[in-house]
Amino acid sequence: MYRDKDKANLGYNPNIKATKKKHISQHMAYQLYYQNEDSSIRSSYQNTIYCRNSLVPNEEGKLISNYCKNRWCPTCQSIRIAKLIDGYKNSLNTFKDPQFVTLTLPTIPLEELDNRIDEMRSAWQKILASTHFRKHRPQGLRKTECTLRPNNLYHYHYHIIIDGEEHGRKIIQEWLKRFPQAKAEAQDIRRIENENGYLEIFKYFTKLIAQDKTTGKRYIDFKRLNNIFEKMKGTRVFQPFGGLRAVEVDEEIHEDDLEGQYVEEDLRKIWTWATGVGYVSEDGEILTGDYELPSWVEELCGKMDKELPPPPDCRPKDIDNFEYTHTENVYTEPKEKVYISDDLFSDDVYTFNDIKGTYSIREEQADHIRILERMGLRNKGGDLNPQIQPKKG
């Protein structure tokens, strides 16, 4: 573990990047949660607050955790982007004449956004079904993006990578034919000269941070971002076409995609997130040593001056079927019922060492650290073997 402050700030500690993302995502999700109390996706913001909240070592020496898998989460989105790049880069690198195309329409108020999403989707499908594209079937990848504009307007648009300038210009021609209100000079096509040119399409589906053109100050409009997140829910962000193979992680992160960070043996213990501090072990050690969390995050997002909402409900569909029981001589806490999610049941059991003893836990439980903490998984001097039993009667 790097304890030297200069080395830590230079990024030598591989856990600093993950700690910084957690710090940012928690602050953002906190503001999204409290500034949008009537949001239809408020519970998803609650999930993001507790994303990667604890780290637990597995048998391979990785620190693994639970993830919210939401698009606005910097931690989960970085995983998603890495998977997208890895999945598409080989195919895109075979393009003989790669072109980057942008299709836009005039900005609109929020109440028109639903209709804009539908009409652009319909127009895109008709373009791909037109004679030219049915004949030539050029390969490509389309990305949907929505950004904030001044005066409470929104800019919903497409970015496209396509093989062949002829096909790219044909898309623009068809676009202008279907949308007379679109300005020809607002559409764009340019050749991708190197591999870095592909990366633009894999950025966030919306820009989270805005800048005041008068003062130059950066800020985040959490209420308007919530509008975008609500409208984009269920919308396909990436769509390959022309026979380009789809990458499955483009819309949702799967459990197999969530790769933990390998750590040295002395760091293979439970680490729990402490707001404003970082990941802390039971004995008070900080995972990133003397690294200081960036102060600009609070300046940008605002202070977390309210109590954190409770962890998201993780009860099974039939909450009366199961209860958690523990051995009386292991705990000092009174016996109590704790509901757990039904996807935790598994015969796979492994052990890991902590400073106060050895735990034996089910593998799936390690991925739901929040649940383990609610169970009070803190060894009081003996081995803990949780028993999950059907409720009798």
Beta strands 62-64 and 98-103 are unpaired
Are residues 190 and 130 both part of a single domain? yes
Question: In whole angstroms, how far apart are CA 374 and each of 258, 325, 350?
Answer: 23, 13, 20
- Domain containing 374: what range? 313-393
Are residues 44 and 158 both part of a single domain? no
Q: Residues 45, 316: contact at Cβ < 8 Å?
A: no
What backbone phi and psi angles, to 5 degrees, belong to 101? -115, 140
Residue 328 has pLDDT above 60, yes or no: no
Percentage of the chain exceeding pLDDT 70: 72
Residue 72 has pLDDT above 60, yes or no: yes
Average the pLDDT over each of 13-27, 198-212, 294-308 and give the range with the smallest value.
198-212
- Reported confidence tier of residue 14, pLDDT bands at 50, 70, 90: low
Are residues 17 and 134 both part of a single domain? no
- Reported confidence tier of residue 353, pLDDT bands at 50, 70, 90: very low
User: Which domain CATH number covers 139?
Assistant: 3.40.1310
Question: In whole angstroms, how far apart are CA 121 and each of 84, 204, 362?
Answer: 22, 19, 45
Distance, in Å, from the CA atom of 180 to the CA atom of 170, rounded to the nearest integer, reads: 16
Q: Tens digit of pLDDT for each residue in 103-117?
A: 999 999 999 999 999
Are residues 21 and 165 both part of a single domain? no
Q: Tens digit of pLDDT for each residue in 170-195?
A: 999 999 999 999 999 999 999 999 87
- Nearest CA to 175 out of 191, 162, 188 is that of 188
Mean of pLDDT values over 350-355: 31
pLDDT at residue 63 in the model: 85
Identity of residue 370: R
Mean of pLDDT values over 200-224: 84
| 85 located within any domain | no
Q: Tens digit of pLDDT for each residue in 219-240?
A: 899 999 999 999 998 888 999 9
Specify the higher pLDDT residue, 292 or 9. 292
| 170 located within any domain | yes
Residue 10 has pLDDT above 80, yes or no: no
Distance, in Å, from the CA atom of 230 to the CA atom of 49, rounded to the nearest integer, reads: 18
Residues for the chain: how many in total?
393
| 81 located within any domain | no
Residue 101 has pLDDT above 90, yes or no: yes
User: Alpha helices of 107-164 — where are they, by DSSP H?
Assistant: 113-128, 131-136
Q: Write out the two tokens for 356.
A: 């106060």
Are residues 235 and 290 both part of a single domain? no
Q: Residues 194, 98: contact at Cβ < 8 Å?
A: no
| 35 located within any domain | yes
| 74 located within any domain | no
Mean of pLDDT values over 315-327: 34
| 76 located within any domain | no
Residue 291 CA neighbour count, 13 Å, CB half: 27
Specify the higher pLDDT residue, 341 or 258. 258
Mean pLDDT of the chain: 77
- Reported confidence tier of residue 323, pLDDT bands at 50, 70, 90: very low
- Reported confidence tier of residue 58, pLDDT bands at 50, 70, 90: confident
| 75 located within any domain | no
Are residues 286 and 228 both part of a single domain? no
pLDDT at residue 146 in the model: 94
Are residues 245 and 275 both part of a single domain? no
Are residues 105 and 224 both part of a single domain? yes
pLDDT at residue 258 in the model: 52
Mean of pLDDT values over 71-76: 89
Residue 369 has pLDDT above 90, yes or no: no
| 269 located within any domain | yes
Residue 325's DSSP bridge partners are 387
Residue 209 has pLDDT above 80, yes or no: yes
How many domains is the chain partitioned into structurally? 3
Are residues 112 and 183 both part of a single domain? yes
Distance, in Å, from the CA atom of 370 to the CA atom of 355, rounded to the nearest integer, reads: 20
**Residue 376 CB: number of other CB atoms within 10 A?**
16
Are residues 191 and 102 both part of a single domain? yes
Distance, in Å, from the CA atom of 68 to the CA atom of 79, rounded to the nearest integer, reads: 12
Residue 393 has pLDDT above 50, yes or no: no
Are residues 198 and 98 both part of a single domain? yes
Residue 102 has pLDDT above 70, yes or no: yes
- Reported confidence tier of residue 35, pLDDT bands at 50, 70, 90: very high
Are residues 120 and 218 both part of a single domain? yes
Residue 382 has pLDDT above 50, yes or no: no
pLDDT at residue 313 in the model: 57
- Nearest CA to 346 out of 366, 316, 320, 326 is that of 366
Maximum average pLDDT range among 17-26, 57-66, 252-261, 359-368: 17-26
